[in-house]
Amino acid sequence: MGRYALLILPSANRVYAEASIALTVAELEAFGQAVLGGRIAGACPATIAGVPYVTFTADRLDARDTALLANLSSAYALFEVDGESGKSGEALRPVELRPLDRFDDDLITIQKYQGKTNEQFTKLLLNVTLLASAFAPDMLDRKFTVLDPLCGRGTTLNQALMYGFDAAGIDLDAKDFDAYAAFIETWLKRKRIKHHAERARLRAGGKVTGRRLRISLAADAGDYKSGITQRLDVVNADTARAAEFFRPETFDLVVADAPYGVQHGSRTAAKGLARSPADLLAAAAPAWATLLRSGGACGIAWNTLVARREQAAGILADAGLDPVDAGSYLGFRHRVDQAIVRDILVARKP
């Protein structure tokens, strides 16, 4: 049995304050259960030579195991611990981490704006949603299709692209759509990444009802030439209309950070701007569920001070999804600031 020590990204403390260790432990357990055959045990905080780590035990991790763990949202470095805990002679041997990352990380970090979902949290949300899906064992091999139906300026979309996945998004805010379209097109050009972009206006009954940007791209020019591309598809419209824009059972994962009801509210056609995202979820969840393929999963983050977990779970269950309300999936609630206590709820499509 090996003992391992995970060094957490320094930024995690800034993002999560005192919750960073608990969130790392919960994410590690989700990886352990979903893709490492339950072989990770005893994840807990530990201080080694004055530096805080999360340590755990596991049967010797092979290259595939560490390639999976390399994608932990808070992973900075991983070590195998030699020698007895706390005794002199204890030594840390670095374990090579090769994350899925396809592009330079400025794809995810450059954009800064009010209302952005923190990129580390976005990766956590995407990871734990993926790990709850029936396709989790294929994390390293499958080109997942991901929809963020409240995509803002694309933090989830960028993380999905980073993983080599296809990404789609919907947002009602025209400024967010324009800002993201401008960012991604400029970024692709500046990085000389082969791509093809198309913009369209969506019409119904003779009226323009939305806009759409579709891009096909490839990290490798040879892949692009051979048609091995990633797709990005962003729609500027109400998310309750999601089923008008995509075919049923198109997505493996639906991942959304709902409006927090503090500066940014939730909009529904029926009730306008509301503090709680419950009406928005209730209006849109049935469409989101239709777009998920069987075995897929939907992961939502929201502010529990404006909508309770049971309420969110009830809405997803009414849409025909099975909320995952057990184990590490109950361990993601954390305080962001005085007005926001954030949680993650994941539900599977049977």
Closest distance of CB 158 from ligand SAM, Å: 9
CA distance 72 to 170: 26
Closest distance of CB 76 from ligand SAM, Å: 22
From 54-62, 73-81, 160-168, 171-179, give the range in contact with ligand SAM by CB under 6 A.
171-179
Closest distance of CB 328 from ligand SAM, Å: 23
> By C-beta, is 40 or 281 nearer to ligand SAM?
281
Does residue number 152 form part of the binding site for ligand SAM (CB under 6 A)?
yes
CA distance 339 to 123: 23
CA distance 172 to 151: 9
Does residue number 150 form part of the binding site for ligand SAM (CB under 6 A)?
yes
| Member of 142, 143, 214, 264 binding ligand SAM (CB under 6 A) | 264
Tokens found for residue 150: 């409240």
Rg (CA), the chain: 20
Does residue number 169 form part of the binding site for ligand SAM (CB under 6 A)?
no
Q: How remote is the C-alpha of 130 from its chain's centroid?
A: 8
> By C-beta, is 194 or 211 nearer to ligand SAM?
211
Closest distance of CB 100 from ligand SAM, Å: 20
Closest distance of CB 154 from ligand SAM, Å: 6
From 60-68, 134-142, 195-203, 263-271, give the range in contact with ligand SAM by CB under 6 A.
263-271
> By C-beta, is 16 or 79 nearer to ligand SAM?
16
Does residue number 344 form part of the binding site for ligand SAM (CB under 6 A)?
no
The 103-122 contact track toward ligand SAM, x by CB under 6 A, reads ------------xxx-----
Does residue number 239 form part of the binding site for ligand SAM (CB under 6 A)?
yes
How many residues of this chain interact with ligand SAM, rule: CB under 6 A? Answer: 25
| Member of 267, 334, 342, 349 binding ligand SAM (CB under 6 A) | 267
Does residue number 24 form part of the binding site for ligand SAM (CB under 6 A)?
no
Does residue number 176 form part of the binding site for ligand SAM (CB under 6 A)?
yes
Residues at the contact surface with ligand SAM, assessed by CB under 6 A: 115-117, 150-153, 155-156, 170-173, 176, 238-240, 257, 259-260, 264, 266-268, 280
